[in-house]
Amino acid sequence: MSSRILAKTLTRSAHHAAKQARPTLRCMATESGALRKTGLYDFHVENGAKMVPFAGFSMPLSYGSVGAVASHHHVRKSAGLFDVGHMVQSNFLGPTATQFLEWITPSGLASLPPYSSTLSVLLNEHGGIIDDTVITKHASDAFYVVTNAGRRDRDLAWFKEKLEEWNKTDLAKKEGGVEHEILENWGLLALQGPEAAQVLQAYTSYDLTELTFGKSAYLTVEGFNLHVARGGYTGEDGFEISIPPAETIEVAKLLSKSPVQLTGLGARDSLRLEAGMCLYGQDLTEEITPIEAGLTWVIPKDRRETGNFIGAEGVRKHLKEGPPKRRVGLVVEGAPARQGATILHPETNEAIGAVTSGIPSPTLSKNIAMGYVRSGFHKKNTELLVEVRGKARNAKITGMPFVPTNYYRGSA
């Protein structure tokens, strides 16, 4: 038992990952040492939160005496409220906003209906993932984009550089350029769980049965006009609610009443992993293409072939030749495999990949993990070995999500 670990328990990495000094820990590194706070910092402290550094922010790990496992189960059975105000919220506005975003991402945004969202990726010149993001289209000249806190500096510099290039193009000069607006200090709350809809419905006259998974709308919630997107990072039904800075605390108080429980980063990580969702910095990096990451589905078919987006060449190479490695789900026997654990060939014990996220799943009571393996070993039910504390443990490739998703796709 290491005292280093006691400190690290409060962060998101396992001991072995840290020992190997993997660069993937950068998502939680702070540059200056001074941590930022969301508008709900005092609210968290008043509610007994254990605050920990995460992605440059001081964020709640858990609240009061509610353990991570109990908190996790509460979201699966009832509803939880997460402060995700550390994430970067942006608007891209202007006559050529659709074309600009179709250049910096491989998404098909021209065909996306208004007030709909899509998971997307920002790609570098080689097709490596700079960040994963959710893009919501309000109109062809107005998009709302949420990116990761841990990638704030990289993303914002990238947006600035690419916007300057874009606004010098003939198209932008002729039809109009694009402007990037950061919603600094705005609140972002995620209300997640099977009871999330009935909780929110009690505060709004908007018929939430109309708001299906992947849709968004401006709702009046107890007098507050809020942008509400149906979706989230837990696999459950739920909403991500964007709130003007002055109103964030009031809305958080409103939405955290019983049966909703405030939920911290601990449960957020176990919920997202059960849902098979990636965490940037662990499961996605700039060295990984969306094809390797199993995110080919975020690129519409026509754009895979002819799309003119940054990184298209790297993406097409992997599409054509097949990716050298692939993201897979694993169930590991014996001990939980954590970030950094080596995946071995079942007969030769040769290293063929590595775990990028792993936990004992509270819902399944099995050790689940995701990681990358060499192509050819990625098929479902392939039996492999994973090394944990010097011992090779049996593991099997499993489809994801590990826990079935429970999205609301309409009452019909």
Partner 1 sequence: MFNALRQASKSATLVRVARRPATAASPLRTFQSVRTVVTKRYTQDHEAVVFDDSTGVGTVAITDYAQSSLGDVVFVELPTVGSVVNQGDQIGAVESVKAASDIYAPVSGTVKEINEELNSQPGLLNKSPEGDGWLCKIELSDTEEITKLMTEDAYKEHCEH
Q: What are the structure tokens assigned to 84, written together? A: 């995700």
The residue range among 82-90, 117-125, 355-363, 399-407 that interacts with partner 1, by the rule CB under 8 A, is: 355-363
Task: Identify the CA nearest to 342 among candidates 11, 24, 20.
Answer: 20
Site for partner 1 in 40-69 (CB under 8 A): 62, 67-69
In the numeric block, the tokens 């601990």 are attached to: 266
Which range of residues in 12-20, 30-38, 192-200, 292-300 is near partner 1 by CB under 8 A? 12-20
Pick one of 359, 370, 386, 397: the residue that binds partner 1 (CB under 8 A).
Answer: 359
Say which DSSP state 376 is in: T
Smallest gap, in angstroms, from Cβ of residue 370 to partner 1? 15
Q: Which is nearer to partner 1, 15 or 345 (CB)?
A: 15
Name, in order, each residue with C-beta under 8 angstroms of 253's C-beta and a sequence gap of 6 or more: 43
Task: Candidates 362, 370, 387, 395: give the one binding partner 1 (CB under 8 A).
Answer: 362
User: For residues 268-297, which are near partner 1 according to CB under 8 A?
Assistant: 269-270
Stretch that binds partner 1, among 84-92, 246-254, 333-341, 374-382 (CB under 8 A): 333-341
Query: Of 240-269, which residues contact partner 1 (CB under 8 A)?
Result: 266, 269
3-state SS string over 323-368? CCEEEEEEEECCCCCCCCCEEECCCCCCEEEEEEEEEECCCCCCEE
Which among 321, 340, 329, 341 has a CA at the least distance from the CA of 294?
329
Range list of β-strands (E), 178-333: 179-182, 187-192, 216-221, 224-230, 238-243, 261-262, 325-332
Q: Which of 26, 257, 379, 389 binds partner 1 (CB under 8 A)?
A: 389
User: Which residues, numbered 101-120, are part of the site for partner 1 (CB under 8 A)?
Assistant: none
Q: What is the distance between the alpha carbons of residues 66 and 48, in angstroms, rounded to a whole number? A: 10
Q: Is 240 marked as a binding-site residue?
A: yes
Crossing angle for the helix pair 265-274 and 68-77, nearest 10 degrees?
60
**Which residues form the interface with partner 1 (CB under 8 A)?**
1-3, 5-6, 8-10, 12-16, 62, 67-70, 72, 266, 269-270, 335-336, 338, 359-360, 362, 389
Which residue positions form the known binding site?
240
